[in-house]
Amino acid sequence: MTTSLAPRAAHYRSWSAIAAGSRALAAGELIILSHHRRVVLVGCAGAATTEQMAFLIRHTTGFLQVALHERTCDRLVLPEATPTVRAISTLGHGQCVTVDAAAGITTGISGTDRARTARILADPTTEPSDLTRPGHLIPVRVTPIEFRTRLTTASVARALTDTAESHYSGAVFADLDGIADPTDVGDRDDAEILADRYGLTLVAGPDPRTPSADQGVHTTGAVPACPELRRSPPAAEKHHTTHRREQWTSPAPNSWTECTPWYLPSPNARRRPRRTVLPSTRRSPTSSTRESWRR
């Protein structure tokens, strides 16, 4: 079910935890996510509609991106674009070659065309031939480490949509446009104005600078880690994780922190102490030979 994006009666809306954002996405709504100095509009790529895309284009910078798992990018043959600066803190981190749907679109730039392209990217049955390159939608590659540590905005958005739409994983997002200052991108004040005007859910994402006590997950001080979204691997598979390379799924998700590939090591896991190798006191054959020759 997709909710209407018509203006609503004004009333103060506060920032919610991640569980509220996941529920809003599952209901077919758009949310506003604040993560480490970035404020973005987020929606489920697998359920993107023309109305949602038009709303995204109108109230954001128009630079629409779709966060995907790296194995999805590999399956669809979407190589990462060569960055000028290869750093995880850059806004262009993980961006791949732009794409359009190969069929069912016209120019590819309209809201209808970009909504179809987003749904095709999130569809697990999509083949590389179903996409054309270049296009008008930017896939963003999210690695398992980024997905677990929530270091990037794309990884947080994908984790939220993955919990809401596990079969069609993918998050379409774009930076919020400034309302008070149209020449700049939006901030949290602009997000509150937009959410108050259209009844959107405000979600405060985890802060990668602040460590949390909940299994090394990073959250802000005002938003505690949510126990509702905690997942745990099936009991029969807990001891067979060494050679498995796919992500497990659970019908009843219960962690924001552990809906990740569970073969990854825990950030709080103890490491073995490094073995100290003492230098050998045995003299080399060359030195002993020289001393015996001198005698």
pLDDT along the chain (295 residues), means of 10: 54 79 93 92 95 96 95 94 81 92 95 97 95 96 86 91 85 94 92 94 74 36 35 40 38 42 47 57 54 54
Position 129 scores a pLDDT of 96
Apex 68 CA angle, 236 and 224, nearest 5: 65
CA distances from 74 to 10, 71, 286 (A): 45, 5, 56
User: In whole angstroms, what is the distance from residue 174 CA to residue 154 CA?
Assistant: 10
DSSP H or E segment with residue 175? strand 171-175
| Within a domain: 50 | yes
Position 214 scores a pLDDT of 36
| Within a domain: 183 | yes
| Within a domain: 44 | yes
CATH of the domain at 94: 3.90.870.10
Cβ atoms within 10 Å of 125's Cβ, excluding its own: 6
Position 280 scores a pLDDT of 55
Cβ atoms within 10 Å of 29's Cβ, excluding its own: 23
| Within a domain: 112 | yes
What's the one-letter identity of residue 48?
A: A
* Count of domains forming the chain: 1
| Within a domain: 98 | yes
What's the one-letter identity of residue 245?
A: R
User: In whole angstroms, what is the distance from residue 204 CA to residue 160 CA?
Assistant: 12
User: In whole angstroms, what is the distance from residue 73 CA to residue 114 CA?
Assistant: 18
| Within a domain: 32 | yes
User: In whole angstroms, what is the distance from residue 213 CA to residue 29 CA?
Assistant: 31
| Within a domain: 93 | yes
Position 48 scores a pLDDT of 95
Nearest C-alpha neighbor of 249 from the set 241, 237, 240, 259: 259
User: In whole angstroms, what is the distance from residue 137 CA to residue 38 CA?
Assistant: 20
User: In whole angstroms, what is the distance from residue 65 CA to residue 7 CA?
Assistant: 25
Position 279 scores a pLDDT of 59
Counting Cβ atoms within 10 Å, is residue 56 exposed (0-12), middle (13-18) or buried (19+)?
A: buried
| Within a domain: 95 | yes
Domain of residue 177: give its range. Answer: 15-204
User: Is the model's pTM score more than 0.75?
Assistant: no
